[in-house]
Chains A and B, each alone.
Chain A
């Protein structure tokens, strides 16, 4: 039940971010889907594994889904990946870190900030993994029309 709710809210949030980023109307649905899949993966994997692993896998999934959408709809990848990644950005951790800094609890604050930095890094790793997969897939010659 809670997973369904999370899927629903993350879909709406990612699509709404598509509007903020002025994504074309025809791609808003796909933005929402990539956001939803990413968040669902993150939500399911955080508890059994840890946040870093969950973030890497979630961004990897967002990247793959965006690449597939980009191929199918012949649009740049960035269109679909950006809205999908937004929910994974460690805004909450950065906030907690800032709050602890203000409350003079520097040890906790630095810990949280380091964690936020690591998660940003893992978002990048996930994206790059999916891009590498894409390049490998491109170098394997299956019937593929020349395109941008």
Chain B
């Protein structure tokens, strides 16, 4: 039923574009997206394809005589499972163990699949990671519990706010503001000792680590536009977190 939606001569192009879109939305590096799309095109019998990928859109042309196609990417998250799944489809297609139709259907399934881990588990993971980071960055044993509490709370607040307002900057700012206030209150009530370490640990789940590394890798791979715009995104996130914490310090 999926095949009937697209004309047969367009199908290879659709496969490449869908694969590229999923990878870019899931946080793959730009050069990897281009690489995968070119490989897919080659194994689908479209030699001489060109792709131009930026974090906000993909332009793909399957050959000199074809139209170029454009896909706009609005939202980007980190979803490594999807990156791995698309990679797998691309490899199977290259081996010839997967037909183009089956590949397209698999890609559609990957595109519509949800986060594999339930929300409570994600929050617990963020909380545990925050606790561990609080210790790793030099907090004492007593700071472990406040770290876990603040980290979980901050991440839950971030997820909720992001769903509510859809402005990532605001969600990050408010979440880190909350982390700062809760950490301060916990230290005031003698439940924690080192305020700095608790805050640094709890903020870690929000820190744009993947964005920063991807930005640098894109820059080094020669994708200057992508690298700079990803860098800008990372800087904006870092600034939002810093500003949220800064507000706490200015007020207190």
Contact = CB atoms under 8 A, between A and B. Distances in A.
User: Is B one of A's binding partners?
Assistant: yes
A123 B28 contact: no
Contacts of B50: none
Interface in B202-252: 203-205, 207, 209-210, 212-213, 216-217, 220, 238, 242-243, 245-246, 249-250
Interface stretch (B10-18, B82-90, B96-104, B163-171): B82-90
A59 to B, nearest CB: 9
B15 to A, nearest CB: 16
A101 B216 contact: no
B33 to A, nearest CB: 11
Contact of B129 (A6, A12, A103, A128): A12
Interface residues of A, number: 47
Interface residues of B, number: 51
Main secondary structure of the interface of A (DSSP, over half): helix
Contacts of B41: none
A30 to B, nearest CB: 12
B207 A19 contact: no
B3 interface: no
Interface string A116-132: 00001101100110000
Contacts of B94: 148
Given A22-B116, A82-B78, A120-B212, 20 more contacts: A6-B135, A6-B136, A13-B129, A16-B128, A19-B117, A19-B122, A21-B78, A22-B79, A22-B117, A24-B80, A78-B27, A82-B80, A89-B207, A91-B137, A95-B200, A95-B203, A95-B245, A96-B196, A123-B213, A148-B91
Given A17-B129, A20-B125, A124-B220, A9 B135 contact: yes
Given A10-B132, A78-B83, A86 B209 contact: yes
24 contacts: A10-B136, A13-B136, A16-B129, A18-B80, A20-B129, A21-B78, A21-B79, A76-B32, A78-B80, A78-B83, A79-B84, A82-B210, A82-B213, A91-B137, A91-B207, A95-B196, A95-B199, A95-B242, A95-B245, A102-B249, A124-B213, A124-B216, A147-B91, A148-B39
A124 B79 contact: no
Interface in A105-148: 120-121, 123-124, 127-128, 147-148
B115 interface: yes
B81 A24 contact: yes
B143 to A, nearest CB: 12
A71 interface: no
B220 to A, nearest CB: 6
B37 interface: no
Ranked 9 nearest A-B pairs via Cβ = A124-B216, A98-B242, A13-B132, A16-B129, A9-B132, A19-B125, A16-B125, A102-B246, A23-B80
Nearest to A91: B207
B207 A22 contact: no
Contact of A91 (B27, B81, B121, B203): B203
Contacts of B213: 81-82, 85, 123-124, 127
B135 A20 contact: no
A39 B125 CA distance: 19
B173 interface: no
A13 B137 CA distance: 12
Contact of B84 (A13, A75, A89, A123): A75
Contact of A92 (B80, B87, B200, B209): B200
A90 to B, nearest CB: 9
B145 interface: no
A38 B203 CA distance: 20
A8 to B, nearest CB: 8
Contacts of A10: 132, 136
